[in-house]
Amino acid sequence: MSTIRVTGLHVRHRGTVALDSVDLDFGPGVHGLLGPNGAGKTSLIRVLATVAAPTGGRVELLGDDVREHRRRAVVRRRLGYLPQEFGYYPGFTVREFVAYVAWLKEMPAAEVPAAVERAVARVGLADRVDAKVKTLSGGMIRRVGIAQAIVNEPDVLLLDEPTAGLDPEQRVEFRELLRELGGSSTVVVSTHLVEDVAAACTEVTLIESGRVAYRGTPASLAALGESAAGAGVGDNPIERGYTAALRTHRASATPALEGTAR
Amino acid sequence: MTGWHASDDLVTRYGDGSLPEPDAWSLEKHLETCGRCATRVSRAVRETAAGVALAQVREAVLEAAPTLPTTAQRLPRPLALPSPGPRLAHLLWAAGPAVRGAWLPAVLLVAFGAVALAYGADITGVRPLLLAVAPVVPVAGVALSYGAHADPLHEIAASTPSAGLRLVLTRTAAVLAVSVPLLTLAGLLVPSSDAPGAAAWLLPGLALTLASLALAGYVGVRTATAVTGGGWLCAVLTPVLAAPGGHLPARLAEQLQYCLDGAPAQGGWAAAAVLSAVLLAARRPAYDHLERR
């Protein structure tokens, strides 16, 4: 069962082609979105989050076409989105910040306080819930971002570089949370850290120059790395698989797109 | 199973936690299959301080359990009321970045500044000046309310069902709720100096605000507010500054009378407001992806 279905997606970002005829579908589970910087990961996540409008193609989330204004609002209530970069109001505490997003997501007011507590506890910030966001470290702010994304227990959760700024221990804890979330919802995680994918994802999608270069599981990517000895560079099978898949794609691709955006 | 059973010494040391970890693990492995030793170890553990505390906790939980359904019904209410009044918090949330940020002090400065100039510095012609500036104030508030350049939370907000016209209108309402009473009151307090009435700016203010929003559907909030706000200031101030001779406030009052006074002028502003509102409603979906335009 696919909760996200993308067909013939075409996205332009600041005058350059960010995604070119991308067909993808995702079901419940944790999906790693890998690729070099500027490959189009963020563009894809922003389109899936309904923040950016595609220039062409069709995006279906939870069975609804998001181009339709009315259906879009319904879908957005069941979305969670952590942008790569986000701001906050300087005076807000963690609790206020997460509650504000819950309000934006039109959650019933009676459910919000408990949902906020739960979301903040899940990212391990229960003891900082009344601290001002601006007093927190970068890694903590990222966790606040994850808390706001999961406050409505979304069916589709989109995380753009969620592990950036987290220390190794926090990343291990975060992967645990990812696996837990993937049990019930569709989680799409963009990352450039191959080990995140190996540890927490059920499926891997590799994007290069705005096109899908590889789809499989972490195991199949690792197997590719083992079999294509010499073709891929890296310190472990999955890294070798990653570089091997990229090179195969580059070799077979029609003349690469000029200047792609992130 | 193997005929081996844990000695009393081993059981005691497991209970008080002094048994080395590998020995404890092998004992635990044995307990999985030996009921007799398990019972002995359980008894020993129950007698330790931790065991006693656990028993007390269990008792307390069981005691509280039958009363749970009734308290659960009452529970959401106290939970729904986090410290200082959620209603106020919700209002502030609805108000958005403009009313929280630098715009509010600016409005206060205009309002109190006008009154202070009129009475403190004894300057005449404050009312025309105030009337010329007032319609731009809510437009500036709109500019500072929505979009990536004004709202640090925009990227997150844009993915929520509140995004788009609904949030734009909520925040615009907050901006108007602050600026309309303050500026009208200030207008009433300063002497008229032959300018139109203190309320004469209300319809133009509303029309310019709605026109900004309508235009924003095509060119984005920032450009739209610059066009409408700048357009108004040009329309009012250019003839005043260009015309030779005469007292400046008097000329401004004259120009404002032309723009604001009388049924035709006010009727024109009302028509512009209605037209903008219709355009807004018709182009609702356009507000979902304002930043892409």
Mean pLDDT of A99-122: 93
pLDDT for position B87:
60
Alpha-carbon distance B30 to B205, whole Å?
83
How many inter-chain contacts (A to B, CB under 8 Å) are there? 88
Alpha-carbon distance B190 to B128, whole Å?
10
Mutation for testing the A interface, residue in B83, B155, B165, B293 having most A CBs under 10 Å: B155
**Residue A90 or residue B2, greater confidence:** A90
According to DSSP, residue B40 is labeled H
Confidence band, pLDDT 50/70/90 cuts, at residue B55? confident
| pLDDT above 50: residue A50 | yes
Note whether B159 contacts A88, CB cutoff 8 Å.
Answer: no
Confidence band, pLDDT 50/70/90 cuts, at residue B127? confident
CB atoms within 10 A of CB B99: 21
pLDDT for position B94:
67
pLDDT for position B71:
41
Is residue B286 packed enough to be buried (19+ CB in 10 Å), middle (13-18) or exposed (0-12)? middle
| Closest CA of chain B from A196, distance in Å | 24
CB atoms within 10 A of CB B53: 10
| pLDDT above 70: residue A235 | yes
Mean pLDDT of A107-122: 94
**Residue B84 or residue B219, greater confidence:** B219
Of A47-56, B59-68, B186-195, give the lowest mean pLDDT range.
B59-68
- pLDDT averaged over every residue in chain A: 88
Residue A87 has its nearest CB partner, among B93, B152, B163, at B152
Quote ipTM for the complex: 0.89
Of A47-51, A201-205, B16-20, B109-113, give the lowest mean pLDDT range.
B16-20
Confidence band, pLDDT 50/70/90 cuts, at residue B65? low
Note whether A86 contacts B155, CB cutoff 8 Å.
Answer: yes
Confidence band, pLDDT 50/70/90 cuts, at residue B218? confident
Confidence band, pLDDT 50/70/90 cuts, at residue B58? confident
Confidence band, pLDDT 50/70/90 cuts, at residue B242? confident
Note whether B161 contacts A96, CB cutoff 8 Å.
Answer: no
| pLDDT above 60: residue A32 | yes
Alpha-carbon distance A150 to A155, whole Å?
9
Question: What is this structure's pTM?
Answer: 0.76
| pLDDT above 80: residue A206 | yes
Residue B153 has its nearest CB partner, among A49, A76, A88, at A88
pLDDT digits (tens, 9 = 90+) for B130-149: 888 899 999 999 888 888 88
Mean pLDDT of B14-25: 80
Do A97 and A148 contact (CB within 8 A), yes or no? Answer: yes
For residue B174, the Cα-to-chain-centroid distance in whole angstroms is 10
pLDDT for position A113:
93
Tell which phi-psi region holds residue B164, choosing left (phi > 0), alpha (psi between -120 and 50) or beta. left
Pairing of strands A16-26, A186-190: unpaired
Do A17 and A210 contact (CB within 8 A), yes or no? Answer: yes
Angle, to 10 degrees, between the axis of helix B202-219 and the axis of helix B165-189? 150
**Residue B92 or residue B86, greater confidence:** B92
Alpha-carbon distance B108 to B179, whole Å?
9
Do A99 and A112 contact (CB within 8 A), yes or no? Answer: yes
Amino acid code (one letter) for A61: L
Question: What tokens appear for A195 in the block?
Answer: 């080990």
Confidence band, pLDDT 50/70/90 cuts, at residue A104? very high
pLDDT for position B47:
79
DSSP letters spanning chain A: --SEEEEEEEEEETTEEEEEEEEEEE-SEEEEEE--TTSSHHHHHHHHTTSS--SEEEEEETTEETTSHHHHHHHHHTEEEE-SS----TT-BHHHHHHHHHHHTT--TTTHHHHHHHHHHHTT-GGGTTSBGGGS-HHHHHHHHHHHHHTT--SEEEEESTTTT--HHHHHHHHHHHHHHHTTSEEEEE-S-HHHHHHH-SEEEEEETTEEEEEE-HHHHHHHHHHTTTTS--SSHHHHHHHHHHHHHHHHSSSPPSS---
Alpha-carbon distance B148 to A106, whole Å?
21
Residue B79 has its nearest CB partner, among A88, A101, A113, at A113
pLDDT for position A22:
92
**Residue A14 or residue B85, greater confidence:** A14
Amino acid code (one letter) for A200: A
Of all residues in chain B, the one with the smallest CA distance to A113 is B80
pLDDT for position A259:
46
Of all residues in chain B, the one with the smallest CA distance to A45 is B159
Note whether A106 contacts B161, CB cutoff 8 Å.
Answer: yes
| pLDDT above 50: residue A25 | yes
pLDDT for position B99:
76
Nearest to A44 by CA among A253, A206, A243: A206
Residue A89 has its nearest CB partner, among B79, B100, B167, at B100
pLDDT for position A116:
96
Angle, to 10 degrees, between the axis of helix B248-260 and the axis of helix B221-242? 130
Note whether B82 contacts A95, CB cutoff 8 Å.
Answer: yes
| pLDDT above 90: residue B264 | no
Confidence band, pLDDT 50/70/90 cuts, at residue A67? confident
Alpha-carbon distance B23 to B158, whole Å?
58
Note whether A51 contacts B159, CB cutoff 8 Å.
Answer: yes
